[in-house]
């Protein structure tokens, strides 16, 4: 089956520092990757959509300068939370689409829990 990994699985950082989260498709090439944010007991909120080699498309209300997304290759996308603050503490999940496998299924990573102190 299609596997998407995320690293790190959890991270604690101090306010004002930056944190990078990696999302990798391990056994397929991801034409499109998505980044979601989820608060406890709430739904997933789409932050941005990224296609390999092009700039990410951010959802309304998401600060592109704060949440930097890079989709450098067909197997790797990164989300960098710059100058993190406690309100950025959340669960971040990536997912990937591919034309190699199922035409409709998005494959999700296991998520990264970010705590900003």
Partner 1 sequence: AQKITQTQPGMFVQEKEAVTLDCTYDTSDPSYGLFWYKQPSSGEMIFLIYQGSYDQQNATEGRYSLNFQKARKSANLVISASQLGDSAMYFCAMRGRYGNKLVFGAGTILRVKS
Q: What is the DSSP string of the chain?
A: ---EEEE-SEEEE-TT--EEEEEEESSS--SEEEEEEE-TTS-EEEEEEEETTSPPEEPTT--TTTEEEEEEETTEEEEEE-S--GGG-EEEEEEEE-SSS-SS--EE---EEEEE-
The distance of closest approach from Cβ of residue 83 to partner 1 in the complex, given in angstroms and rounded to an integer, is 25
The distance of closest approach from Cβ of residue 93 to partner 1 in the complex, given in angstroms and rounded to an integer, is 7
Residue 46 or 62 having the CB closest to partner 1: 46
Interacting residue ranges for partner 1, rule: CB under 8 A: 32, 34, 38, 41-44, 46, 49, 91, 93, 95, 97, 104-108, 110-111, 113
Residue 1 or 86 having the CB closest to partner 1: 1
């Amino acid at each position: 089956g299609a596997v998407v990994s995320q690293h790190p699985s959890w991270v604690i950082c101090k306010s004002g520092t930056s944190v990078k989260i990696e999302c990798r498709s391990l056994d397929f090439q991801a034409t499109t990757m998505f980044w979601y944010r989820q608060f406890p007991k709430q739904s997933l909120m789409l932050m941005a959509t990224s296609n390999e080699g092009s700039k990410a498309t951010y959802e309304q209300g998401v600060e592109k300068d704060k949440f930097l997304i890079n989709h450098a290759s067909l197997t790797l996308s990164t989300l960098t939370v710059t100058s993190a603050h406690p309100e950025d503490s959340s669960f971040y999940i990536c997912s990937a689409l591919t034309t190699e496998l199922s035409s409709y299924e998005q494959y999700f990573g296991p998520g990264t829990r970010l705590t900003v102190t």
